[in-house]
Amino acid sequence: MTKFVIRRLLQTIPVLLGVSILVFSLMYLIPGDPAQIMAGEGASPQTVEQIREKLGLNEPAPVQYLKYMKNVVQGDLGNSVRSNRPVMDEIKARFWTTVQLSFYATILAVFLGLIAGIISAVRHYTWSDISIMIVALFGLSMPNFWFGLMLIQWFAIGPDWLPDFLKMRASGWGDDWRQLILPVITLGTGGAAIIARMTRASMLEVIGQDYIRTARAKGMGERVVVYRHALKNALIPVITVVGLEFGGFLGGAVLTESIFAINGMGRLTIDAIRTRDFPIVQGTVLIISFLFVFVNLLVDISYRLLNKRIDLN
Amino acid sequence: MVQHTPVAGIGQKRSSPRVEAYKAFWRRLSKNKAAVVGGVLILFFVLTGFIGPLLTTLDPYEPQISNKLKPPSAEHWFGTDNYGRDIFTRIIHGMSITMKVGFFSVALGGIVGVFFGIISGYYGGKLDTVIMRIMDVLLAFPGILLALAIVSVLGGSVQNMIIAVGVFSVPAFARIVRGSTLSVRKLEYIDAVKALGASDARIIFKHILPNVMSPIIVQLTLRIATAVLTASGLAFLGLGAKPPTPEWGAMLSEGRAYMQQAPHLVLFPGVAIVIVVLAFNIFGDGLRDALDPKMRK
C-alpha cells in the first residue's frame, strides 16, 4: 500500500509540471503582443514596456518558465496587472469560498444521487425507477447556470413569504451561511444526476451477481441483501465519480459564482479574463487544477483501500 | 434499458455478417423508444439549423424598440427581448450556431483524440506513456476550466468556441479509444494480418478502427451534449459568441438583466438548450445500449 501511495504521488509530478507548462504557455498563445493586450488599447508605449518588464516578457521562454516555477514553488504567483496586489493574496481571500461551495455541492450530489440511484436500482423498471431516471436525464442536460437563474426567479425574487436568506440582495453574497443553499443546489444538481445514474447501473450489475443470489437463497432479508451486500460493492465505482464531480464543481463554480455574485475564485477568474489580467487567470487556473489533481490522488488511494481485489501495481 | 433481440429464425436468408450486424444494431436501436425520439429530434434540429432561418419572416438582429419585452403572444410565440427582437426567430437562428459548435467541436476533438488514442494503444511503450501523460494534463483542468482558459487567450467568437470545446473533448476520446485499441490489438486476427505483411497504417485503418468504432460513435453523440452545454456556458460568461449573435448562452446572458419583468427572456433559450442536450443524451444512451455487447444477452 505504501508503495502504491508513493508511486501514485510520483505520478502526479509530471502531470503537475505539464499543467504548469500549459498554464504558463497561455501567455504565448495570446494572438499579438501580450503586454500590449494587457495594457489595453489606448495605453502608452511606456506602460506597455513597463508591463513587459514586470512580467519578464523580454527574456527567452524557458528562462521565464523556470523563473515562474521557482516563484510558484515559493508560493509566489506574481502580481495582478490591474491591482498590482500579489495574485496569491487575491486567491487566498477567495479560495475557501469556492472550496466550500464545491464541497457542499458534492455532499448534496452524493446524498441525492445515492438515494435516487438506490431506489431506482432496487425498484428497477417500475414507475419510480423510470421517473427518477427521467429527472436525472433532465438534471444531466440542464445548463447549471440556467437552472440557477430559474431558482433565482422562483425563490430569490419570488414571493414575500420566503425567508430572507433565500433572496438575492443587490450586494449579492453575504455572511449568512444559509445563502449557500441556492448556489449549492445549482451546482450540485447535475452531479446528483450523474451519481444517480452511476449508482443505479453499478447496483444493477452487482445485484445480478452470484453472491447476491446466494445471500437471497440463504433466506436473508431483502434489506440486508441490498444494503449490506450489494451496496458495499456497488459504491466502489461511484467513488471515482464523486472525486471527478468535486473537481467538476470547482470548475463549474465559475458559472455559479457569477450568477449568485459570489466572490470566489471562479468569479475572480472571469473578472480577470475580462480585464485581461493574465497573471490572475494563470494563478487561479493553476491552483484549481492542482487542487483537482490532489483530490483525484486521494480518490485513487481510497479506491484502492476500499477495493482490495484490484491490484493497481 | 434492456433490449430483447429476436434470434434470427432458422431458414431465414442470411446476408454477410457485417450486414447482419448492422441489421441487428438497427433492430435494437429502433426498439429503444427514447433513442428513437432522440434521433428524430436531432434530425429535426439539424434540419432546423439548415432551413429554419430561411423560413422565419422576422429579423433576428434588427432592433424594434417599440416592441421590447413583449410577453409570448400569437404574434411573438416566445415574446420579444429587450431590443424588441422576436425570441422565437432568434432561437431558430441560434439553432444553426448550436449545431455548428456541437458538431464541429466534437469532430475536431474526435479526430485528434481518436488519432492519439489509436497510436497510443497500438504502438504502446514510450509513445503511449507520453501521449497519455499529455491527456492526463488536459484532464487535470476540471470542467469548463480548460475551454475557459483557451477562449480567454484566443478571444470570444464562435470559431474560438469550437476550438476551445474541441480541445476540451480530445482526452475523452483518446482515453476510450486507447482502451479499446489495447483489447483489439491483442486479438489473434491482428497477429494474423501482421504475419501476412500488412503495414501498420493498414492494420490501424482497416482492422482496428472499424472494431473500435462503437465506443467512438457513442462518445461522439454524448460529447455533443457536453459540447453544447460547455459552449453555452462560455457564451453566457461573455467569452463565446458575442451579442447580438443569437447564440442561446449569449441570449441568456443578455436576458438576465430583465429577468424580473420579463422571465421569458431567460426561459426559452434555456429550454432550447435543455431539449437539444437531452436529445443527444438519450440518443447516445440508446446507441450505447444497442452497441454494447454486454446488453446483447
Write out the residues of chain B at the interface with chain A, using a CB-CB cutoff of 8 A.
Answer: 2, 133-134, 136-138, 140-145, 148-150, 152-155, 225, 229, 232-233, 236-239, 249, 252, 256, 259-260, 263, 266-267, 269-270, 273-274, 277-278, 281-282
Q: CB B137 to CB A19 under 8 A?
A: yes
* Terminal C-alpha separation, chain B: 13
Confidence band (pLDDT; 50, 70, 90) for B42? very high
**Range in A31-45, A127-141, B190-204 with the lowest mean pLDDT:** A31-45
- What count of Cα atoms within 13 Å lies in the side-chain half-sphere of residue B196? 9
The number of beta carbons lying within 10 Å of the beta carbon of residue B45 is 21
Q: CB B136 to CB A138 under 8 A?
A: no
Higher pLDDT, residue B293 or B219: B219
Mean pLDDT of A86-94: 91
Mean pLDDT of B188-214: 89
Confidence band (pLDDT; 50, 70, 90) for A113? very high
Mean pLDDT of B38-44: 95
Tell me which fold the domain A95-306 belongs to: MetI-like fold (1.10.3720)
The pLDDT of residue A165: 59
* A19: chain B residues, CB-CB within 8 Å: 137, 140-141
CA separation, residue A18 to residues A21, A239, B136, B217, B270 (Å): 5, 26, 9, 30, 36
CA distance B237 to B252: 10
**CA angle A163–A192–A19, rounded 5-degree value:** 110
Architecture of domain B94-295: Orthogonal Bundle (1.10)
Confidence band (pLDDT; 50, 70, 90) for A110? very high
Q: Does B1 score more than 50 pLDDT? A: no
Domain residue ranges of chain B, discontinuous segments joined by +: 94-295
> For B45-61, what is each residue's pLDDT tens digit?
999 999 988 888 888 88
- Maximum separation of any 2 CA atoms in chain A, in Å: 84
The closest CB to that of A18, out of B134, B149, B277, belongs to: B134
Q: CB A137 to CB B278 under 8 A?
A: yes
How buried is residue A170: exposed, middle or buried, by Cβ count under 10 Å (0-12/13-18/19+)?
A: exposed
> For A273-301, what is each residue's pLDDT tens digit?
888 888 899 999 999 999 999 988 888 88
CA distance B24 to chain A (A): 24
Residue A13 pairs in a beta bridge with: none
The pLDDT of residue A161: 64
Query: Could you tell me the pTM of the whole model?
Result: 0.89
Q: CB A29 to CB B150 under 8 A?
A: yes
CA separation, residue B279 to residues A120, A138, B285 (Å): 22, 10, 10
The pLDDT of residue B34: 83
Q: Which three cell numbers stand for residue B141?
A: 483542468
CA distance A4 to A297: 11
Q: Does B9 score more than 70 pLDDT? A: no
Q: What are the backbone dihedrals phi and psi of residue B69, each rounded to the nearest 5 degrees, phi first? A: 55, 35
> For B80-127, what is each residue's pLDDT tens digit?
888 889 999 999 999 999 999 999 999 999 999 999 999 999 999 999
CA distance A19 to A297: 15
Q: CB B277 to CB A142 under 8 A?
A: yes
**Range in A17-31, A126-140, A166-180 with the lowest mean pLDDT:** A166-180
A23 close contact with B: CB closer than 8 A: yes
The closest CB to that of A251, out of B138, B144, B152, belongs to: B144
CA distance B151 to chain A (A): 9
Looking at chain A, which residues constitute the CATH 1.10.3720.10 domain(s)? 95-306
Q: CB A143 to CB B141 under 8 A?
A: no
Q: Does A239 score more than 90 pLDDT? A: no
Q: Which three cell numbers stand for residue B241?
A: 459568441
**Range in A187-196, A303-312, B79-88 with the lowest mean pLDDT:** A303-312
Instruction: Select, from the ranges A198-212, B154-168, B269-283, the one with the highest average predicted confidence (pLDDT).
Output: B269-283
How buried is residue A3: exposed, middle or buried, by Cβ count under 10 Å (0-12/13-18/19+)?
A: exposed
DSSP state of A79: B
Closest CA to A190 of A121, A129, A108, A263: A108
Alpha-helical (H) ranges within chain B are 17-31, 33-55, 87-123, 125-139, 145-154, 158-185, 188-195, 200-202, 213-236, 248-255, 264-291
Higher pLDDT, residue B270 or B68: B270
Mean confidence (pLDDT) of chain A: 85
Confidence band (pLDDT; 50, 70, 90) for B15? low
- What count of Cα atoms within 13 Å lies in the side-chain half-sphere of residue A281? 27
Confidence band (pLDDT; 50, 70, 90) for B14? low
Best residue in A267, A273, A286 for a mutation probing chain B (most B CBs within 10 Å): A273
Collect contacts of B57-64 with beta carbons under 8 A, ≥24 apart: B57/B89, B58/B85, B58/B86, B58/B89, B59/B85, B59/B89, B60/B85, B60/B86, B60/B89, B60/B90, B60/B92, B60/B93, B60/B246, B61/B85, B61/B244, B61/B246
**Range in A68-77, A107-116, A188-197, B268-277 with the lowest mean pLDDT:** A68-77
Q: Does A79 score more than 80 pLDDT? A: yes
The pLDDT of residue A194: 93
The pLDDT of residue B111: 97
Q: Does A171 score more than 50 pLDDT? A: no
CA distance A304 to A61: 40
Q: Does B261 score more than 80 pLDDT? A: yes
The pLDDT of residue B297: 37
> For B218-252, what is each residue's pLDDT tens digit?
999 999 999 999 999 999 998 888 888 999 999 99
**Range in A118-127, B8-17, B219-228 with the lowest mean pLDDT:** B8-17
* A247: chain B residues, CB-CB within 8 Å: 142-143
The number of beta carbons lying within 10 Å of the beta carbon of residue A77 is 22
* A255: chain B residues, CB-CB within 8 Å: 144, 233, 236-237
The pLDDT of residue B293: 57
Q: CB A145 to CB B152 under 8 A?
A: no
The closest CB to that of A273, out of B136, B232, B239, belongs to: B239
The pLDDT of residue A312: 46
Higher pLDDT, residue A1 or A204: A204
Q: Does B190 score more than 80 pLDDT? A: yes
* B238: chain A residues, CB-CB within 8 Å: 274
A95 close contact with B: CB closer than 8 A: no
Closest CA to B166 of B266, B246, B234: B234
